[in-house]
Amino acid sequence: MQAVYYRDRTGAEPVRDLMRSLDGAGREAVAWGVELLNAMGVADPPLPFPYSSQVAGELRELRCHAGRRHIRDLYRRSERLFVLLHAFEKRSARVPEAEVVIAEARWEDFRARMNEQPRRRPRAAGADAP
C-alpha cells in the first residue's frame, strides 16, 4: 500500500501544500501518520482508532496530533493506494460537513480521471514540470 497526494487537473496538490505550510511539529505528525498508512498491507483492515476513523462511507480521517493542534487528512482507498484528498486543522468534535464535501468532490474528480478512456498519463512531478 502507498499513500499518495491528490493532484487536481492543474497539477496542484492541496494536501501537500497544507503540509508544507505547517510548522515542524505539524509536518512531523502528518508524516508519521502517512508512514502508518504506507506500512499497511493489501489485506490489512483499516487503520484503527485512534490513528484513523471513518467519516462517511469509505471516507476516513487520518488523525494527526501536534501538541494541542489536531490536523486531519481525509483519505480513501483506491486498490493499492491511499489517496490523501483533503487536509485541515480540526477545531470541533465532528468533521465539518464542508470539509467532507471538498474531499468527496476531489474523490469524484480522481475517479473520473482514472476511468477516462483513453487514460491520460500523469504529468511529471516537480515544480518545473510542463
Alpha-carbon distance 108 to 78, whole Å? 12
pLDDT computed for residue 63 by the predictor: 93
pLDDT computed for residue 122 by the predictor: 62
pLDDT computed for residue 79 by the predictor: 85
Alpha-carbon distance 113 to 70, whole Å? 31
Nearest Cα to 82, choosing from 26, 39, 19, 123?
39
Chain Cα centroid distance, residue 88: 10
Alpha-carbon distance 81 to 130, whole Å? 25
Residue 83: band (very low, low, confident or very high) from pLDDT cuts 50, 70, 90: very high
The structure's pTM equals 0.84
Residue 72: band (very low, low, confident or very high) from pLDDT cuts 50, 70, 90: very high
The answer to whether residue 128 scores a pLDDT higher than 70 is no
pLDDT computed for residue 129 by the predictor: 56
Highest-confidence range of 47-51, 116-120, 122-126, by mean pLDDT? 47-51
pLDDT computed for residue 117 by the predictor: 77
Identify whether 118 is preceded by a cis peptide bond (ω within 30 of 0): yes
The answer to whether residue 123 scores a pLDDT higher than 80 is no
The answer to whether residue 108 scores a pLDDT higher than 90 is yes
